[in-house]
Amino acid sequence: MQINHQWLQILSASLGVAALVGCTNPAQAPVRKGQFSQRPFGTTKDGIAVNLYTLRNTKGAEVSICNYGGLVISLKVPDRNGQVGDVVLGYDNLADYIKDTPYFGAMVGRYGNRIAKGKFTLDGKEYTLAINNGPNALHGGLKGFDKVVWEPRILARPEGPSLELRYTSKDGEEGYPGNLSVTAVYTLMGDNALKLEYTATTDKDTVLNLTQHSYFNLAGKGDILNHQVMIPADKFTPVDSTLIPTGELRPVTGTPFDFRTPTAIGARIGQENEQLKFGGGYDHNWVINKPMGKLGLMARVYEPTSGRVLEVLSTEPGLQFYTGNFLDGKLTGKGGWAYQFRNGFCMEPQHYPDSPNQPKFPSVVLKPGQVYQNTIIYKFSVQ
């Protein structure tokens, strides 16, 4: 998946979209018919103006992404009657994201999910991270990749309109070693799939685990308990009471964690089960049955009233399936919807939580000279 920028720029120019790149005044942007638009979305605490970039395909799908945090602000796809509706939770404006967000729509880094006690050792040196979730470090720290401004560039790719986002994280930022250069490219594909491709390089040994934290509700309202989920995983990683994996890869057979055949989220979520108790519902990592690094299916979700189907594909070894157990009605989002308990679910393809401290888990170490690659696809259809 090496990106040939020169070729893309030539293509962009021929389609008349190159002038969008770095353009601060949307009125001056010559937008190619229907595929792209952009508008101001607000200003960060540091006074940086950020934009909302909208990509559209010919099937009626549309995604709007902000270059603050790479946030997916809205994602509109058809239901079985062709009615287009927004299937992600979030806010109407940047100020609400800055004030309080449980990572709605966010690109998460440097390390998705938890690192125990905010400490890890690499090459004999101990690193200390901010403790921001109980006794642990969560989702990259106090100012993770979901809270930084990324440098945007619109690309016209043969497979669909794309937004490229770049960010260089400095050596020591949020306690992590190495200057890390990250590129994220979102593409809205012709088949109603949203693809996110991450690449990254470092100048010192470091640890890295990038993911995407959109909250989905395929009905666009209510709770998610009737969504039927299939996860092709024979095992999951059980956790302690602070949601740190114990290190065990536990078979799902005979447990509420067996989603190998499609099952409603609500069917077993209320069962008496220590793991469900620790998570307040599902908030666990599944060990997906597929070869490491190979793009493959991680989950399929079907919502019976709308007929919408979400397939999650990725190159990552694990899937964090989180059922919005911390939502409690206090955050009011788009269209005045107060997000209640389990009104959205996340499917976060990633390496297993706390891998830097778990020698038996696949390595998350990135070394100078290596190129980190991670592809995540959210593909929508109807049934």
Task: Give the Cα separation of 282 and 82 in Å (integer).
Answer: 31
Identify the residue among 176, 216, 322, 361 touching ligand GLA (CB under 6 A). Answer: 322
In the chain the first and final C-alpha atoms are separated, in Å, by 31
215 scored as a contact of ligand GLA (CB under 6 A): no
- Minimum CB–partner distance for residue 100 and ligand GLA (Å): 11
DSSP 200-269: EEESS-EE-B-EEEPEE-TTSSS-STT-EEE--EEEEE-B-TTS-B-S--EE-TTSTT--SS-EEGGGTT
Q: Does 316 bind ligand GLA (CB under 6 A)?
A: no
Check residue 209 and report its DSSP letter. B
Site string for ligand GLA, 114-153 (x = CB under 6 A): ------------------------x---------------
Q: Are residues 216 and 254 in contact, defined by beta-carbon separation less than 8 angstroms?
A: no
Q: How far is the CB of 183 from ligand GLA (least distance, A)?
A: 24
Hey, which residues between 23 and 42 contact ligand GLA (CB under 6 A)? Answer: none
The verdict on whether 213 is a catalytic residue reads yes
Q: Does 346 bind ligand GLA (CB under 6 A)?
A: yes
| Active-site residue, from 139, 213, 284, 351 | 213
SS3 at position 334: helix
Gyration radius from the chain CA atoms: 20
Tell me: does residue 183 bind ligand GLA (CB under 6 A).
no
Which member of 62, 86, 283, 354 binds ligand GLA (CB under 6 A)? 283
Residue position matching structure tokens 């989702």: 139
Interface residue with ligand GLA, options 64, 183, 206, 320 (CB under 6 A): 320
Q: Are strands 318-322 and 345-350 parallel, antiparallel or unpaired?
A: antiparallel
Give me the least distance between CB of 354 and ligand GLA, in Å please: 11
- Give the pair of three-digit tokens for residue 178: 């190495």
Where is 313: in which H helix or E strand? Answer: strand 308-314
Binding letters toward ligand GLA, positions 225-244, x by CB under 6 A: ------------------x-
- Which listed range, 40-48, 70-78, 287-295, 318-326, lies at the site for ligand GLA (CB under 6 A)? 318-326
**SS3 label, residue 331:** coil
**Which residues here bind ligand GLA, judged by CB under 6 A?**
102-103, 113, 138, 243, 283, 320, 322, 326, 346, 348
Active site residues: 213, 348
